[in-house]
């Protein structure tokens, strides 16, 4: 299998994102990381739970992304919650900036994975959900489960 056709397994995933936001569009971005950070990410010690991305001085940064310190690291180990720069083209940054101008929109990291030996992050352009939207989604999910269960019982 060629390198470009390999499936990429997410090393970290933001599971609450689809519950709290409706994802409108996604963009893949690279990350600027230090040596101990990438080693820790490869071990699966990253957390995207409360992280978000923002444009600052014509560059994109991700905030509150927690990467646990590398156990075998020495005194040059990284800070777990430091701000990390995202690698995007100028057109993509301008597109994200225009989406951020609209009220209720946010840019949130969805997945962190390794693609062709390079660490990538999937960013979602999201709109916040109201409480009643969340309840509606839970009802739909429950109905789908019940239908699937009934279909399974029918064909046994």
**Tens-digit pLDDT profile for residues 90-103:** 998 998 888 888 88
- pLDDT reading at 1 higher than 50: no
Tokens of 47: 């957390």
CB distance 99 to 125 below 8 Å? yes
Over range 31-36, report the average pLDDT. Answer: 84
Residue 62 sits at φ, ψ, to 5 deg, of -110, 135
Going along the chain, which residue ranges are E strands?
Answer: 10-13, 21-31, 46-47, 52-56, 59-63, 66-67, 84-87, 105-115, 118-128
Q: Identify the band that residue 7 occupies on the pLDDT scale cut at 50, 70 and 90.
A: low
Share of residues in the chain with pLDDT > 70 (%): 95
For residue 99, count other CB atoms closer than 10 A to its CB.
16
Domains of the chain from N-terminus onward: 11-128 (2.40.280.10)
- Mean pLDDT over 42-67 rounds to 88
The predicted pLDDT at position 89 comes to: 93
């Amino acid at each position: 299998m060629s390198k470009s056709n390999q499936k990429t397994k997410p090393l970290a995933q933001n599971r609450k994102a689809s519950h709290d936001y409706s994802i409108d569009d996604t963009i893949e971005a690279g990350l600027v990381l230090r040596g101990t950070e990438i080693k820790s990410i490869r071990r699966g010690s990253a957390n995207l739970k409360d992280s978000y991305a923002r444009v600052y001085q014509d560059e994109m940064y991700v905030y509150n992304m927690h990467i646990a310190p590398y156990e075998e690291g020495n005194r040059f180990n990284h800070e777990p919650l430091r701000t990390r720069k995202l690698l995007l083209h100028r057109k993509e940054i301008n597109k994200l900036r225009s989406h951020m101008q609209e009220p209720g929109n946010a840019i949130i990291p969805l997945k962190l994975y390794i693609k062709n030996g390079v660490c990538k992050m999937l960013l979602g352009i999201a709109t916040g959900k109201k409480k009643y939207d969340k309840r509606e989604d839970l009802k739909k999910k429950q109905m789908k489960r019940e239908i699937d269960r009934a279909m399974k019982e029918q064909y046994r």
